[in-house]
Amino acid sequence: MAQVVWLQWWLIGARLRIFPILAVACFPWFLAAGVAQQNLNLGERVLWWLGQSTVLISGFILVLYFLPQLSFIYLLLPLFPIFMAIVSFCSALLNNPWSYALGSSLFFGWVLASAFPLSKI
């Protein structure tokens, strides 16, 4: 029960199986973001972060419109701009789109695998 109650970030077997799929699915987004953020100054990075966070939050709100049973995502929505700020900060440090995309997609895939409920197939 620990992985359900307080140890959710430690992926159980079912979540660990979908983690690589989610990471691969996130990779094109982060690669495009890394290429777009390469060699930007601080002000442009803040605008990029704001735009990326807005698109991500809007997408999740659209998902909630079509799938109201996932309404717990409303509680997670404030975390996504923080996650985007973390990965944008890493992008500024690395200034290499491929390494940024790899690390960010693994991190965000892990977040998605640990936070979203499993469904029976």
Give how many domains the chain has, as a whole number.
Answer: 1
Could you tell me the residue range of the domain that residue 90 belongs to? 15-115
In this structure, is residue 98 part of a structural domain?
yes
Contact 112, 18 (CB under 8 A): no
How far is the C-alpha of 52 from the C-alpha of 82, rounded, in Å?
11
The residue written with tokens 């979540």 in the block is 15
Q: Which two tokens stand for residue 41?
A: 């100054």
How far is the C-alpha of 87 from the C-alpha of 100, rounded, in Å?
8
In this structure, is residue 46 part of a structural domain?
yes
Higher pLDDT, 105 or 119: 105
32-78 confidence digits (pLDDT tens): 988 988 888 888 989 989 998 999 899 989 988 998 887 878 888 88
Put simply, whether the predicted model's pTM sits higher than 0.85 gets the answer no
In this structure, is residue 6 part of a structural domain?
no
In this structure, is residue 93 part of a structural domain?
yes
Q: What's the pLDDT band for 120 if we cut at 50, 70, 90?
A: very low
Higher pLDDT, 14 or 103: 103
Compute the mean pLDDT over every residue in the chain, rounded to the nearest whole number: 84
- Across the range 85-94, mean pLDDT stands at 86
Q: How far is CA 31 from CA 54, 59, 84, in A?
A: 18, 19, 14
Higher pLDDT, 105 or 1: 105
| Element spanning 12, H or E | none
Q: Indicate whether 121 pLDDT > 50.
A: no
Residues in Cβ contact with 42 at an 8 Å cutoff, skipping those fewer than 6 apart = 92
Contact 50, 58 (CB under 8 A): no
Q: For the chain, give the percent of residues with pLDDT over 90.
A: 33
